[in-house]
Chains A and B, each alone.
Chain A
């Protein structure tokens, strides 16, 4: 079956702009999580959605937001981009949420802010 699909794969934006990233989970998976990965901070949790409800949010400013649709697809939005937002953004899906669950990650979206 198809894996987790993230679009676009690469993106270049200018400071101050906003960006929307998309994630299509594996069919049947209801939980979608987002992570930011940078060389300095590693993999950091952004937020998690389950059945369209955000159940957990990481320590990121309000410029980072997300949503999940009824078909489990998810989007995350970053407004007023800063240079420090340059990172690999990863989406993960799983059938349910929990540390005992296998998470399937997408290839990520490489965002570069100039």
Chain B
């Protein structure tokens, strides 16, 4: 599995856009990039997944450059309830486990 590197923590204020960049230099051709969100004492929750270019859903956008060696999760207009740990994962169809790194703790302040 490709290893990922992301910032340990980020601070933001309500209403701002938060962008978290994840590095995955050794990503394989058939690997996808997936982001999960986790609140304390709860299981992680799928946010978004992409392979290349840009993916957008109702909660976030995922930007993936052409070389796919990094990706950026964008959370528009965050609120206090977006305070959580965000994990970037990389894996392909034959990966039987999810490898979670330390994640990025995002703290949103009023």
Contact = CB atoms under 8 A, between A and B. Distances in A.
A98 B92 CA distance: 6
Interface in B61-110: 87, 89-103
Given A100-B49, A107-B43, A33 B98 contact: yes
Given A98-B95, A98-B96, A105-B43, 7 more contacts: A33-B97, A33-B98, A45-B99, A50-B96, A90-B43, A90-B44, A102-B34
B54 interface: no
9 contacts: A33-B98, A90-B44, A100-B49, A103-B98, A105-B42, A105-B43, A107-B43, A108-B43, A110-B41
B1 interface: yes
A81 interface: no
Nearest to B92: A99
Q: Main SS of chain B's interface residues?
A: loop
A98 B95 CA distance: 5
A42 B102 contact: yes
B82 to A, nearest CB: 18
Interface string B38-62: 0001111110010000000000000
Nearest to A110: B41
Q: Main SS of chain A's interface residues?
A: strand
Contact of B93 (A42, A55, A100): A100
A47 to B, nearest CB: 8
Given A92-B43, A107-B43, A108-B43, A98 B103 contact: no
A99 B95 contact: yes
B34 A99 contact: yes
